[in-house]
Structure 1
């Protein structure tokens, strides 16, 4: 799924499990679509258990706890697997390289 928040100029992409929960999430911000999130619930949980959640969140962001099956999200649009994977790979590279944009952060 994907959606666009015009007020924030933010594209959000989601991979959703069979129960409607977010498994992976990407957020691209601004006219240049800079990655500010490229996180995985599985990785986030592993980092939490390993005591490295702060480092993971700083690098990749945090997964939303939304459930699409419950209607926790307004007007999501379908997104093909190939499109999601392409966006995911680019955003992961940007975040891992340290070029993750940080919303509401002073320059």
Structure 2
């Protein structure tokens, strides 16, 4: 079962949105700058792995320049007493944000 969370990272003024698998690994990750909601990342673990498998390290670097980086650590459970505080969101909310973020990054790349 997938879950969807958002959390704020004040040191970088970033809102982070993640689709998590049952083991709490991020499958897809979106970052928005807090001050203006500009998309900073919209990365997919499956896409990173496909880039690695088909094009090696260079393909991963190109992917991450375009779409950002997927977190490489487990997230704490929502009831854990640690920072950052994770808020849940619906799959629909995440999908809408994901599509908007990818569209923006793809448009930025084509300019």
Structure 1 length normalisation: TM-score?
0.82
Structure 1 gaps, min length 5: 100-107
Superimposed CA distance per residue, residues 10-47 of structure 1 (whole angstroms, 9 cap, x where no aligned partner)? 11000000111000000001422011110000000001
Question: Which has more radius of gyration?
Answer: 2
* Structure 2 counterparts to residues 1-107 of structure 1, below 5 A: 1-51=5-55, 52-69=59-76, 74-98=84-108
Q: Is the 8 A contact 2:9 2:84 kept in 1?
A: no
Structure 2 gaps, min length 5: none
Root-mean-square deviation (CA, aligned residues, Å) is: 1.9
Other structure's SS at 2:18 match: strand
Q: Which has the larger helix fraction?
A: 2
Deviation at 1:73, TM superposition (A): 6.2
Structure 2 length normalisation: TM-score?
0.79
Compared with structure 1, are the counterparts of its residues 95 and 83 closer, same or farther at alpha carbon in structure 2 (3 Å cutoff)? same
